[in-house]
Amino acid sequence: MRALDPRLWTPLAAACVAAPVHATQYLSVEQAQRALFPAADAFAAVPLQGARAWSASRAGAALGYFLVDEVVGKHELITYAVGIGADGAIRGVEILDYREPRGGEVRDPRWRAQFVGKRRGSPLRLDEDIQNISGATLSCRHVTEGVRRLLELYARSLRDR
């Protein structure tokens, strides 16, 4: 292929040591709660099968739910949070952390097993409003699917509490 034709390129300094890409923490659970529900003055943990959940309230009035979940991509593990308002609409999605396992972890069947059976209902697809502009990366697709799953979980277990 022409773009990679070696006659077109000349090596720069060869001292380029590869280093592993580290895990990145963006927000803690508490920080994400504040980012998605800035008006809330209380978050109460809610027992829920399939995700960690908190109800958000202000002066005793319900503002919605805050859910935390994890997805496995091809090269990464992503913890993310979704805020769902009292009207059932998503208030926002925040990535909490993103880490890239080196081999083993993702292939470990016990690790994978925690995700088995979490996805139900109709086949998941990328939402039109989150569709890719540029080449798709798996990571976003997995988060998009995860958000859809949390919405189903919310509709089934939390909405009518």
Partner 1 sequence: MKNRARPLLGTIVAIRADATHAAIDAAFKAIERVHFLMNAHSSAGDIAAINRTACRRPVPVHAWTFRVLAAALRISRASAGAFDPTLGRGATHEDIVLLPGRRVRLRRRARLDLGGIAKGFAVDRAVEALRRHGARAGCVNAGGDLRLFGRAPQVVRVRLPSEPSASVVLATARERAFATSAAYFGGMHIDARRGRRLRLQSSITVSAPSCMVADALTKAVAAAGPMPDLLARFRAQAYLVDGQGAIHAPRR
* Interacting residue ranges for partner 1, rule: CB under 8 A: 1-5, 7-14, 16-21, 24-27, 34-35, 38, 75, 78, 80, 92-95, 98, 100-102, 126, 128-140, 143-144, 147
3-state secondary structure of 107: helix
Q: How far from the centroid of its chain's Cα atoms is residue 48's Cα?
A: 18
CB 39 within 8 A of CB 63: yes
Amino acid found at 54: W
- Taking the least distance from each CB to partner 1, the nearer of 22 and 110 is 22
Shortest Å, Cβ 127 to partner 1: 10
Comparing CA positions, the residue from 111, 35, 33 lying closest to residue 67 is: 33
- Taking the least distance from each CB to partner 1, the nearer of 65 and 148 is 148
| Neighbouring residues of 121: CB distance < 8 A, sequence distance ≥ 6 | 152
Amino acid found at 70: E
Number of neighbours of residue 42 by Cβ within 10 angstroms: 13
- Taking the least distance from each CB to partner 1, the nearer of 46 and 140 is 140
Shortest Å, Cβ 111 to partner 1: 17
- Taking the least distance from each CB to partner 1, the nearer of 2 and 110 is 2
Shortest Å, Cβ 47 to partner 1: 27
Shortest Å, Cβ 93 to partner 1: 6
